[in-house]
Structure 1
Amino acid sequence: MTDDEAARERDKGYLLDNRQAEAGERFAALSRLFDPVTFRRLGALGVAEGWSCWEVGAGGPSVPGWLAERVGEKGRVLATDLDTSWMPQAGAPYEVVRHDVGADEAPEGSFDLVHARLVLVHVPRREAALRAMVRALRPGGWLLLEDADPALQPLACPDEYGPEQELANRIRRGFRALLAERGAQLDFGRTLPRLLRTAGLVDVEADAYFPITSPMGGALEAATVRQIRDRLIEGGLATAEEIEEHLANIASGSLDTTTAPLISAWGRKPLSRPRPHDETR
């Protein structure tokens, strides 16, 4: 394989490769930013002792660990991902399995809860993945999907009052362009309620979380930019000097960087199928 062929093959893959060192920094920042939101929502759904839970695309240990504490020894937590290297397995109170939710069959068994955060927006076969998660639910079980909507709020710095903010927003546009090239649906988050209803779920609701500025928002921005640095340069989306300037602006602590809104949508699998409408009546 030539260098050009290798580069093209690499470009087909997931933009934010979990094997890169920066992935650990991103997971830590995402956890600090979004775990409180996720835990509140899971708690409101009633996750309790004895539940069986499937954490899809877990990435790191924080959510499966929280679930394992809630379900106790009588429950089950299955954590799956394409790359499980960031999840400790020895002695963990949950199962870890490598799994492609868009291509593989759903795990055996039925679940009281299936949860995926920041997963489906990156999965090319989203409909297949959603069907697999719904099939895995027991009647009455809950599906909670949480995904970003970068098109709903596309800026790194909504308050664009100077050159530092303008540079941050230009680099964020480059990031969005790279995501779109790899099949990410940038307006995906807003579609979650409709997708859950179409999949046959009931009691569907949704809300959104949009942090304007926080230390972890800056940490996430820095880790993400370092992770895609070479892609930005190769694509002519930013120069090496501009990237270093942006990272220095973040490190100064004076740049208010935000994320795309995280939209959480949840629905319940009906306890029984509704009877077909009798047209003769």
Structure 2
Amino acid sequence: MGQDKGYLLDNRQAEAGTRFDALAALFDASTFRHFETVGIDEGWRCWEVGAGGPSVAAWLSERVGPRGRVLATDIDVSWARAAATGGVEVLRHDVGRDAPPAGPFDLVHARLVLVHVAERDAALRGMVQALRPGGWLVVEDADPALQPLICPDEHGPEQELANRLRTGFRRLLRQRGADLSYGRRLPRLLREAGLTDVEADAYFPITSPACDVLETATVQQVRDQLVAEGLATDEEIERHLANIAAGRLDLATSPMISAWGRRPVGDGPQL
């Protein structure tokens, strides 16, 4: 593991907002479907963990209404003004190291968070502890090791270059402590945490304009690290970005594993 264990995709970088918008376009519909599955309703108290962009917290706030509560937390809350305008509480919070915020919550949700958190076991325990008895935990994380190619149809040199750069990106993630096979373990981990009614599914786009936007922003965000580690040259990165802009690549994402379960009724005191 590399010496620098900070989050590779820093929210303060200029490309972060573009990534948030692309992730919302790609995955919000799936996330909201899972919220509907667990029965979210008016008056629910919700904790959005590692919120990043504002779209999920804003949707939750609209759904739970004025009688509900939505708390959005992250290590970096530089996006907070956009979320707070929708009546969302914003709190700087490190889910792996800080005690859970005051609850209890009817719903706790984290998307693309725990895969990057070194103290992910402690984070998951804290999220479960924050639930009311009968409350739901929904955790969604990518599993890049399950489908490692950004171009599953690797039929030419442009696709081969894209996949080689994606391999370099995954190496940078591992150096920062990311667990690239975490998503597939979520159902077991939720059961081991004592949750019941555990289910899971997986979703990933094969090609989409939002995939192009996400890949462009991601590569631009990590290009200096790719070059510094000898994983790509500036010329290769420029060629890859040009291939994306020309619309010649069918870009996929890593599978998003979504798992959900509920804290048993009568399971200990409420927080």
Range class of TM-score, shorter chain: over 0.9
Deviations 1:46-104 (Å, cap 9, x if unpaired)?
11100000000000110000000110000000000011111325533110000000000
How far did residue 109 of structure 1 move?
A: 1.8
Partner of 1:154: 148
* CA distance in 2: counterparts of 1:12 and 1:70, whole angstroms: 37
- Unpaired segments ≥5 residues, structure 1: 1-7, 275-281
- Which letter does structure 1 place at the counterpart of 2:107? L
- Which letter does structure 1 place at the counterpart of 2:196? V
Question: Secondary structure at 1:171's aligned position in 2?
Answer: helix
Aligned residues: 266
2:165 is equivalent to residue 165 of structure 1:
no
Question: Secondary structure at 1:203's aligned position in 2?
Answer: strand
How far did residue 272 of structure 1 move?
A: 2.2
* CA distance in 2: counterparts of 1:87 and 1:255, whole angstroms: 34
* CA distance in 1: counterparts of 2:15 and 2:97, whole angstroms: 27
- Unpaired segments ≥5 residues, structure 2: none
- The structure 2 residue matched to 1:48, chosen from 41, 52, 74, is 41
Contact 2:5–2:177 under 8 Å retained in 1: no
Partner of 1:37: 30
Partner of 1:243: 237
Which residues in structure 2 correspond to 1:262-273 (within 5 Å)? 262-273=256-267
Which residues in structure 2 correspond to 1:131-150 (within 5 Å)? 131-150=125-144
Deviations 1:214-268 (Å, cap 9, x if unpaired)?
0001110110000000000000000000000000000011210111000000000
Question: Secondary structure at 2:80's aligned position in 1?
Answer: coil
- Which letter does structure 1 place at the counterpart of 2:124? L
Which has the bigger relative contact order, CA under 8 A and spacing at least 6?
A: 2
Which residues in structure 2 correspond to 1:223-234 (within 5 Å)? 223-234=217-228
* CA distance in 1: counterparts of 2:204 and 2:85, whole angstroms: 35
* CA distance in 2: counterparts of 1:261 and 1:79, whole angstroms: 24
2:96 is equivalent to residue 108 of structure 1:
no
How far did residue 117 of structure 1 move?
A: 0.2
Partner of 2:59: 66
Partner of 1:76: 69
2:184 is equivalent to residue 190 of structure 1:
yes
- Which letter does structure 1 place at the counterpart of 2:10? D
Give 1 or 2 for the bigger CA radius of gyration. Answer: 1
* CA distance in 2: counterparts of 1:35 and 1:273, whole angstroms: 31
How far did residue 33 of structure 1 move?
A: 0.3
How far did residue 181 of structure 1 move?
A: 0.7
Deviations 1:167-222 (Å, cap 9, x if unpaired)?
00000000000000111011000000000000000000000002100000111011
Partner of 1:25: 18
* CA distance in 1: counterparts of 2:99 and 2:180, whole angstroms: 26
How far did residue 273 of structure 1 move?
A: 4.2
Partner of 1:96: 90
2:179 is equivalent to residue 179 of structure 1:
no
- Which letter does structure 2 place at the counterpart of 1:13? G
* CA distance in 1: counterparts of 2:86 and 2:75, whole angstroms: 18
Question: Secondary structure at 1:228's aligned position in 2?
Answer: helix
- Which letter does structure 1 place at the counterpart of 2:60? L
Task: Give the TM-score taking structure 2 as reference length.
Answer: 0.96
Runs (4+) of structure 1 exceeding 2 A deviation are 89-92
* CA distance in 1: counterparts of 2:150 and 2:232, whole angstroms: 15
